[in-house]
Amino acid sequence: MKKFQSYINGTWIDSSTGEIIVVDNPATEEIVGEVACASNEDVDLAVEAAKKSFLKRDLVDMHPMERSKLMRSIAIELRNISKEAGKLLCYENGKLLSGAEYEFQDAANYFDYYGGLTDKLEGSTIPVSKGVVDYTILEPYGVSAHIIPWNYPISMIGRSLACSIATGNSTVIKTPELAPLAATSYFAEALEKAGIPKGTVNIICGYGEKTGSYLVSHPDVNHIAFTGSVETGKKILHAAADKAIPAVVELGGKSAGIVYPDADLDKVVNSAKTAIFGVAGQICSAMSRLVVHKSVKDELVDKLVNLTKSLKVGAGYEKGVDCTPVISKNQLEKVEGYARSGIQAGAEAVAGGKKIEGKGYFFESTVLDGVKQDMTVAREEIFGPVLSIIEYEDSDEAIQIANDTDYGLAAGVFTKNIDQATEASNKLEAGQIYVNSWFTGSIATPFGGYKQSGYSREKGQQALKSYLQVKNVGIQL
């Protein structure tokens, strides 16, 4: 069994306590490897290394163009390892091999994108009075702690770390205990080969309730970036509030797509394939609800049922597979419980509804028809391949149903009428609206939530504001 270590101050080390975390393959339940479980002492070392690097101004005093070159070098290294590293990510996470390889490409894209902005972080001059020169400076916070989710670990590291480096912060990354191996090994090696200054980036693993909690509460952490559940996000925000430091939080979702009578139903089905059945539905902005006009509901349900029948289930590294396992046994039981509760509440499982017997954590691609908005399955995030169909009669009702949620990460509109699309987009309460195709954004488009889906924005130029603070300087001449 291969053992992986923490990456602290430019060195790979074991846990000071010798504790390890064993990682299995969700498709086979076989052990993939083990990783050092960072103790509080290890967290202290990582934060200390990041703080020393920041105080030495390793990134802050680096010429913006040199910082840009460093980031582009990281991008090159990530692309170079995407095939080999993607295989390990596929085995530990369970997702399609193509998707696992793409995560390294995606992370590289973030470093290229933000690497092009290092010399464009500009302050401003402010007219005050005669004899006074007043201006602003954008400065990093210091040590930034990043808590990474297990569904897209490499992409999410790229998303936040690229912003952190571009703005001059030093970083401690806690990888997810369910899928830490590719990050603590290949990602760290890419940083090392690119020439990242020692201590600037540190990568550890540990359980959220222990290692993660200790990290975000650490007195020398000045900034937090977190992606994950609402429950954990609130704990993160409490820790940030106790220290009066900023936190970038992207939390859960229960995103609805409204299907109008004139919608191209094949586009809805194509979106469902990737947006709820892809990655086993383990997507924060998954299209987990479809609010469908009664005139087209039956036709759409038939098409969705046919889609589920066509999807091949298997390990992500097997040829021709569409649907992969959920991440763990606990997640499988959670998804099964939600599906069962929906059926018991009166919804009909027209497709799926059960776990697949045998090795691995597989759950059937599930379509629940006849869902009512007051059902648990329509209100809580499942994080699995379960799609709820809710019928409506008029447009105002559709908007009301879509917005009747504690979440607000994403929403969608399917219609051929551009006026209807823009009107609905204006009324939907979500951070991003997809029209006629789910996931229409890119790394250049801001991403974040309304309501309990969080605040601040990741991606795009907007994201950099969350990693910088403003200093005002007034000079009496």
Q: Which class does domain 2-251+453-476 fall in?
A: alpha beta
CA torsion angle 310 315 317 319 (round to 10): -30
pLDDT of residue 302: 98
Q: pLDDT by residue (tens digit) across 37-70?
A: 999 999 999 999 999 999 999 999 999 999 999 9
What are the residues whose beta carbons fall under 8 Å from the beta carbon of 438, sequence distance 6 or more? 257, 271, 274, 275, 287, 412
pLDDT computed for residue 1 by the predictor: 75
Which pLDDT score, from 0 to 100, does residue 284 have? 96
- The identity of residue 134, as a single letter, is D
Integer Cα distance of 381 and 130 in angstroms: 58
Q: pTM higher than 0.95, yes or no?
A: yes
The torsion of the CA quartet 144, 150, 152, 154, rounded to 10 degrees, works out to 50
Tell me which residue of 252, 249, 250, 292 sits closest to 391, measured CA to CA: 292
Closest of 148, 286, 110, 327 to residue 227, by C-alpha? 148
Q: Which CATH class is domain 255-442?
A: alpha beta
Question: Could you give the strand order of the β-sheet that contains 125-126, starting from the edge strand earlier in sequence?
Answer: 125-126, 132-140, 468-476
11 phi and psi, to 5 degrees? -135, 145
What pLDDT is stored for residue 31 in this prediction?
97
Residue 324 near residue 354, CB atoms below 8 Å: no
The answer to whether the beta carbons of residues 365 and 308 sit under 8 Å apart is yes
What residues of the chain score a pLDDT lower than 70? none
Query: Is the C-alpha dihedral spanning 440, 444, 450, 452 positive or negative?
Result: positive
- CA-nearest of 112, 60, 113, 44 to 469 is 60
DSSP 209-257: IIIIHHHHT-TT--EEEEES-HHHHHHHHHHHHHHT--EEEE----EEE
CA distance 172 to 212: 11
Alpha helices of 116-187 — where are they, by DSSP H?
153-166, 181-182
Where in the sequence numbering do the catalytic residues fall?
A: 250, 284
Domain spans of the chain, in order of start: 2-251+453-476, 255-442
Reading phi first (left if > 0) and then psi (alpha if -120 to 50, else beta), residue 450 is in beta
What is the Cα–Cα distance from 94 to 100, expressed in whole angstroms? Answer: 9
